Amino acid sequence: MTEPQVQVFGPLQVSLGGRTARIGAARQRAVLGRLVLAGGQAIGTDRLVEDVWEGDPPSHAPAVLQVQIHNLRRVLEPARRPRTAARILVSEGGGYALRLAPGSVDAWRFEEQMRQYEQRVHDPADRPGPLERYRLLDAALDCWHGAAFESFSGASWAVAEAARLTDLRITATELRAEAALELGRLGEVVTVLRQQVEENPGREESVRLLAAAQYRLGQQVEALATVRRAREFLRTEFGIDPGPRLRDLESAILKQRVPTEHSATARAMAETPPRGGARAVRTEVVDSGAEPTFYPGQRRALLATAGEARRSGLRMTWLVGAAGSGKTTLVTAMAADLAAQGWITAVGRCPDVDGAPAAWAWAEILVELGGEPSGPAGPADPFTIVRAVTARCRELVPSRPVAIVVEDAQRADEATLQVLRQLANWLQREPILVIATVRDFELSPGLRAAEAALADRAAERVELTGLDLAGTRKVAQDAGLATLDPESLQTLHERTGGNPFFVRELSKRIAALGDSPGLPRNTGLPGNIRAVVIDRIEQLPEGVLAVLQYLAVWGREIDVDTLAQLSGVAEDELVDLIDAAAAAGLSGFDHRGRIALDRALVQDVVYQSIAPLRRGRMHWSALELLEARLDARYAELADAELLARHAAHGATPATAAQALRHVVAVADRYDRAGNAAGAAAQWRSAVELHELAGHARRGARKQDRLALFEALRGLAGALAGDGQLARARPVRGRALALAEELDDQRLVVRALTGRTVPVLRGAWECATSDTRLRSTLESALARTDSSVERAALLVALSTEAADEPAQAAERAAEAARLAHDCGDPELRCAALNALAYTRIGEPDGSGLPMVAEELFDVARGAGLPDYQALAHYFRFLAACRACDPRAASRHAAAALGATPDGRPRPLADVLLAFAAVVEVLRGDLPAAERKYRDFAARMAETGAAHPQGPRLVGALTLGWARGDLSGVAAPLAGLYTAEPDRVAQIYAVALLHAGDRARAREVFRAHPAVRGDRYRPLMSAFRGTAAVALGELDASRELFDTLLPFSGALIGFDTGAAVFGPFDTVLADLADVTGQAATARSLRARAATVLRRVRGALDELVPRPDAGYGGAAEITRPQLAAR
């Protein structure tokens, strides 16, 4: 098995077999980074703890470190068998060390290549020439994909090492530039060193090399300015003058006596045979880093063209794409593919520097082909160049075909294009492939003429229009975004258009936000993406940017007439500007001829380029334009949405009240349509507009404060309806506080009860009780004499008393009776919703199905589809409790199909966990892990009470199935500190698996009573497992009696989100330790029967021809199998 590859240049990343492995929490990453910094040497545990916790470790840090080491070993050696010695992350001398080859860690590989370089250049018997030095240094610098230890930029332990490595990289860049200068690659030196000097103005060698290259390019003024800026910096910052080498160069420039170094190409030729010298011709296979998922169709097309060239003579390909589309990556991959097939390859780049020698790209190509230049800066005229290249190619092709790449041909001067046309004519019968990379929308007239002239030379155009989903996922993973659910991947792909540069940079930004599996909705754009898009726009005619800004503000398709009115640009001029934008790929047209920006990322860049004050005025102008066209009522919701958008973004304190009517109108319509997510967005805008208008102040008019109260209540209800219960809670608190300020008891009750919406609570939620809110509810309940208000308050109290199951059940039952008598079906559904949750976890399992049936009947009779969906969900949970996955699957499908548009949305998210549970039962744990990641990503935005909840459910389920919960010991330690009673039983088992038996016993004995909520059976099963392992006989006897009513069921399966094997397995273990051997055998037999029946039902549920139940799948079931 190949070693894992570790990257610390750029975002921390571990790759195994070409796939990016997922590394967990920040501390786990810090442990790996610190071990890499040690360079393979052992680090003592104390030192590691001190560094990872930044000098402030908690008392349990060594135990957490042990868990993180365990988890890292699983990442680095996934195939290592349990309890076998680690081979990569080893224990040594009271600490830990990373045992990897230097080539397996980018930082180590870079230093090793630099050591090899130093050995070569100091070896008088084998000192490399400039071309070989250039390639050695280029290979070393290829190790860099970002800043050194970028993921640990704030860690004190990484600062010195990052600075050392960065300094070494700068030195390597200078040495490569020196070799490039000898080779005559002046444009490259200027391009690379200009940025390096800007970032490091005190690096005198960088300044010297840059100035020398500028002088040799004829840029004497720029060369002198470069030296003088360095002198000013050194004097200002350090009070010193430049060193002698830089002073001598400045003096030589002023005297026009800069010595011209002999061309390294000529020197290289002197070191090698003059004809066909192997070291002067690029034949080596260079790994391009491009995966098969990177433009597979275009890659196949290029290889097919290469085959035609080999058989039939010269072929010309124009590889066309936008900036960042991956032209260089793809052509480098092609060169590697062709070199592997025996081709000779050469690459030349058209310089982006004024005053560069004519046809410079061909001079570079000639060097790579081993040709003889005619002077120190290469051949001077196009005819001489084309003769030299033609002659060299004819010398080479009898033995091997030749592939030539001309990079950045949009910058080609006339001489470069002349050489290309003549070369194609003279070598048309030779096995030669010429690929020119070109930025679309930047084609000069000369380049278009060249393309036309070469059309009869079997020329073809290959366009890079963006990666597909597979390519997008690979680039995102390589950029550090290890986990990406399908919906987030689709969003990333649509937002970037599949442009590899945009995908990579945006992924790096998202990964830097934290270890989130999902894609944040409002990720800011990196500056380099904005620069690329704005640069493209600025190359277009004046006025295009202004038109694009109006398109961005409008936010959707717009017809030409409306855009002309909005922008104030005459229609004829506007059409020309739109055409220019469309030709540049920045805008497009829909089937009705309306105009819109090309993709969301362009929309974001252009929108953000507008100054905020001007942007607000543009929105308000758009609103006024729309209002002037309005009939008495909105024609459709889409028009109303557009009005609300411009009103919300264009309002000022003086106009906020006017804007409110549009926003509130749309919020109400969304409420009536049952679109909770849309309503939440609009009500949030309404609250912000009220605040902008000053309605939140105590001195505001009462009617305005009442309107604010309605907006807050609407927002709280919409958030709750969208499953964002934790976000709804503080909003409801604001509404309640405002009602109390207004001293209106009716408003207090309305704030407390909220809107009647279906409420979903999952296994990942940690129900917390707000003491003040409960007190206010009790007080309101005591004062009201309305049966409707009393029922609604009891529903709210039942929810708030979830941590007191008996009281919650009593409140919910009374609410159901009152709601039934009131005859309000929606209130009755809300009461049955609350009552259903109090029936989960009952020993006989009969209460939940009865409540679900009543809820369904009431909802169907009243035409309430959202509550019908909820009734199906409760039927689904009841079927899980009965270990009937076929019925559970039917009810899950019915729940999703109960409403025409899939509402309520949280229901679909919740049921994602069931798909993961099914894979666990099947034994396909990798598939289960992927689906749990998708589930966690979707739930990340739902406002679950504890942000770790969904991830923890998945980690617990998978850890149990693998027989190892040590990986969750660290997060459980934090939860245990905050809420010990809630997680104590699970934590005790995790500590046992982590090897901390003493701490496990301490936790076990500190919590002898299991909470009486709906998770009591699950927690009792965990306590039973710990009791058996710890030999706690009294507790084992008690737990046997507690769990016996659940015989025949699966632990945790009644949540629909987790499964921990049969209750009978735990009961059998308890029977064993309490001396009931015969009972234990009977229970184990029953456990095996339950599993066979459930797995058999799964086989019938969804045929899976791609996966079976034998082989490797069987060995991943230690905790599910009956013992």
* pLDDT > 70: percent of the chain: 88
Q: Confidence band (pLDDT; 50, 70, 90) for 1041?
A: very high
CA dihedral defined by 1052, 1055, 1057, 1060, rounded to 10 degrees?
0
Place of tokens 């690979």: 474
Q: Kindly report, residue by residue over 617-656, the tens digit of the pLDDT.
A: 999 999 999 888 775 444 454 588 899 999 999 999 999 9
Q: Which long-range contacts (CB under 8 A, 24 or more apart) does 37-43 make?
A: 37/149, 37/157, 37/158, 37/161, 38/97, 38/98, 39/108, 40/97, 40/98, 40/99, 40/100, 40/108, 41/97, 42/92, 42/93, 42/95, 42/96, 42/97, 43/95, 43/96, 43/97
> Does 368 have pLDDT greater than 90?
no
> Does 79 have pLDDT greater than 90?
no
**Across-strand partners of 436?**
318, 406
> Does 1067 have pLDDT greater than 50?
yes
Single-letter amino acid code for the residue at 889? S
Q: Confidence band (pLDDT; 50, 70, 90) for 896?
A: confident
Indicate the helix (H) or strand (E) that contains 90: strand 89-92
Between 248-252, 521-525, 530-534, 981-985, the lowest mean confidence (pLDDT) is in 521-525
Average pLDDT of 896-920?
Answer: 76
Which runs of E-coded beta strand occur in 698-848? none
Place of tokens 């049936």: 853
Secondary structure (H, E, C), 285-303: CCCCCCCCCCCHHHHHHHH
pTM higher than 0.75, yes or no? no
Q: What is the mean pLDDT of the chain?
A: 83
Q: Confidence band (pLDDT; 50, 70, 90) for 947?
A: low
Q: Would 264-465 and 634-755 be classified into the same CATH topology?
A: no
* CB-based contact 803:1013 (threshold 8 Å): yes
Cis peptide before 865 (omega within 30 of 0): no
Q: Which of 875, 917, 908 is nearest to 1057 (CA)?
A: 917
What would you report as the CA-atom Rg of the chain, rounded to the nearest whole angstrom? 35
- In whole angstroms, how far apart are CA 1053 and each of 499, 571, 885? 43, 65, 10
Please report the pLDDT score of residue 497 as a whole number.
Answer: 82
* CB-based contact 31:155 (threshold 8 Å): no
Strand 402-407 versus strand 95-98 pairing type: unpaired
> Does 902 have pLDDT greater than 80?
no
* pLDDT > 90: percent of the chain: 38
Q: Which CATH class is domain 634-755?
A: mainly alpha
Q: Confidence band (pLDDT; 50, 70, 90) for 1062?
A: very high
Q: What's the CATH superfamily of 761-903?
A: Tetratricopeptide repeat domain (1.25.40.10)
End-to-end CA distance of the chain: 33
- For residue 222, give the 3-state DSSP assignment: helix
The residue with greater pLDDT, 1013 or 465, is: 465
- In whole angstroms, how far apart are CA 500 and each of 141, 146, 326, 470, 492? 21, 16, 6, 12, 11
Q: Confidence band (pLDDT; 50, 70, 90) for 1073?
A: very high
Secondary structure (H, E, C), 456-488: CCCCEEEEECCCCHHHHHHHHHHCCCCCCCHHH
The residue with greater pLDDT, 19 or 1073, is: 1073
CA dihedral defined by 35, 36, 41, 45, rounded to 10 degrees?
-10
* CB-based contact 871:859 (threshold 8 Å): yes
> Does 278 have pLDDT greater than 80?
no
Tell me if the domain spanning 1-183 has CATH number 3.30.360.10: no
Please report the pLDDT score of residue 945 as a whole number.
Answer: 46
Please report the pLDDT score of residue 653 as a whole number.
Answer: 95
Please report the pLDDT score of residue 788 as a whole number.
Answer: 92
Write the DSSP symbol of residue 279.
G
Q: What's the token pair of residue 763?
A: 């296994």
Please report the pLDDT score of residue 602 as a whole number.
Answer: 85
Q: Which of 659, 664, 827 is nearest to 756 (CA)?
A: 827
Q: For the beta carbon of residue 767, count every other beta carbon within 10 angstroms.
A: 19
- For residue 1060, give the 3-state DSSP assignment: coil
Q: How far apart are CA 662 and CA 644, in angstroms?
A: 5
Q: For the beta carbon of residue 199, count every other beta carbon within 10 angstroms.
A: 11
> CA quadruple 690, 692, 698, 702: dihedral positive or negative?
negative
* CB-based contact 806:798 (threshold 8 Å): no
CA dihedral defined by 993, 997, 1003, 1008, rounded to 10 degrees?
90
- For residue 895, give the 3-state DSSP assignment: helix
Q: Which of 951, 949, 1021 is nearest to 985 (CA)?
A: 1021
Q: Confidence band (pLDDT; 50, 70, 90) for 1104?
A: very low
The residue with greater pLDDT, 895 or 1072, is: 1072
Average pLDDT of 476-480?
Answer: 78
Average pLDDT of 267-289?
Answer: 39
Q: What's the token pair of residue 248?
A: 């001598």
Please report the pLDDT score of residue 1008 as a whole number.
Answer: 92
Please report the pLDDT score of residue 188 as a whole number.
Answer: 82
- For residue 315, give the 3-state DSSP assignment: strand
Q: Which of 1043, 1030, 963 is nearest to 1003 (CA)?
A: 1030
The residue with greater pLDDT, 323 or 972, is: 972
**Across-strand partners of 587?**
597
Between 331-340, 453-462, 547-556, the lowest mean confidence (pLDDT) is in 453-462
* CB-based contact 839:831 (threshold 8 Å): no
CA dihedral defined by 878, 883, 889, 895, rounded to 10 degrees?
10
Between 165-179, 591-605, 954-968, the lowest mean confidence (pLDDT) is in 591-605
**Domain residue spans of the chain:** 1-183, 264-465, 470-524, 634-755, 761-903, 925-1116
Q: Kindly report, residue by residue over 500-515, the tens digit of the pLDDT.
A: 888 888 887 777 655 4
Write the DSSP symbol of residue 242.
P
Q: Confidence band (pLDDT; 50, 70, 90) for 1081?
A: very high
Strand 344-349 versus strand 402-407 pairing type: parallel
Please, which residues have CB within 8 angstroms of residue 760's CB and are 6 or more apart in sequence?
723, 870, 873, 904, 906, 907, 910
Q: Kindly report, residue by residue over 373-400, the tens digit of the pLDDT.
A: 554 444 457 888 888 899 999 999 998 9
Q: How far apart are CA 43 and CA 1084, in angstroms?
A: 47
**Across-strand partners of 406?**
348, 436
- One DSSP character per residue, 945-958 reads SSTTHHHHHHHHHH
Between 543-547, 759-763, 1090-1094, the lowest mean confidence (pLDDT) is in 759-763
Please report the pLDDT score of residue 684 as a whole number.
Answer: 96
Q: For the beta carbon of residue 146, count every other beta carbon within 10 angstroms.
A: 17
> Does 287 have pLDDT greater than 70?
no
Q: Kindly report, residue by residue over 83-128, the tens digit of the pLDDT.
A: 678 899 999 888 899 999 999 999 999 999 999 999 888 887 778 8
CATH number for the segment(s) 264-465: 3.40.50.300
592 CB-side CA count, 13 A: 6
Please report the pLDDT score of residue 803 as a whole number.
Answer: 65
CATH topology of domain 925-1116: 1.25.40
Please, which residues have CB within 8 angstroms of residue 633's CB and are 6 or more apart in sequence?
none
Q: For the beta carbon of residue 345, count every other beta carbon within 10 angstroms.
A: 28
